[in-house]
Amino acid sequence: MPVREGWRGRFYEDFEVGDVYEHPLGRTVNQTDNIWFTLLTQNTAPIHFDHNYASRTEFGRPLVDSTFTLALVTGQSVTDVSQNVFANLGWDEVRLPNPVFEGDTIYSRSEVLEKRESRSRREVGIVTVKTEGYNQRGEVVISFRRTVMVYKKAHAPAFSSPFPKDEGDDVP
């Protein structure tokens, strides 16, 4: 049976300015996500974890920690943007035009804004994307520019498959 290599992500050469990647996975945010992330990051704002307090705000319910939203949407973009990252260089122009609530499902997409050769490292290029996250109603909940150093194909670390290479190999 032929074995076909799975998606390994884009390398520097694969990016074209103007391309838009609709990231394939949505994620419904739940109460545990919000509370754990808030506590892990030592965010003491009760709007994120105190339902009684949040019920007295104009929102009437807890807001999802905005840094969770940033982390989630960044993570959703990895398969298309930074699977072959050498380094993240920065997040800029982060905007949160609409709140995220527990129970919202977040989707995202990225547009390639710029790409250039690295001046200091021949094995990578620099790519800048604009990423937007949307809730299930199609409202933008976050947007940001992200700049990454991405490996060129010829210089990426070798991928080592965990699977046996010969049919005669034992499979656990």
The chain-wide mean pLDDT, for the chain, equals 92
- Report if residue 140 sits inside a domain: yes
The pLDDT tens digits for 111-151 are: 999 999 999 999 999 999 999 999 999 999 999 999 999 99
Split into its structural domains, the chain has a count of 1
CATH of the domain at 64: 3.10.129.10
Whether residue 8 lies inside any domain: the answer is no
Q: Which domain holds residue 20?
A: 15-154
Residue 6 lies in a domain: no
Burial of 133 (0-12, 13-18, 19+ CB in 10 A): buried
* pLDDT tens, position by position, 69-102: 999 999 999 999 999 999 999 999 999 999 999 9
pTM (predicted TM-score)? 0.88
Does residue 66 belong to any structural domain of this protein? yes
End-to-end CA distance of the chain: 18
Query: Are residues 21 and 81 in contact, defined by beta-carbon separation less than 8 angstroms?
Result: yes
Rounded Cα distance between 101 and 47, Å, is 11
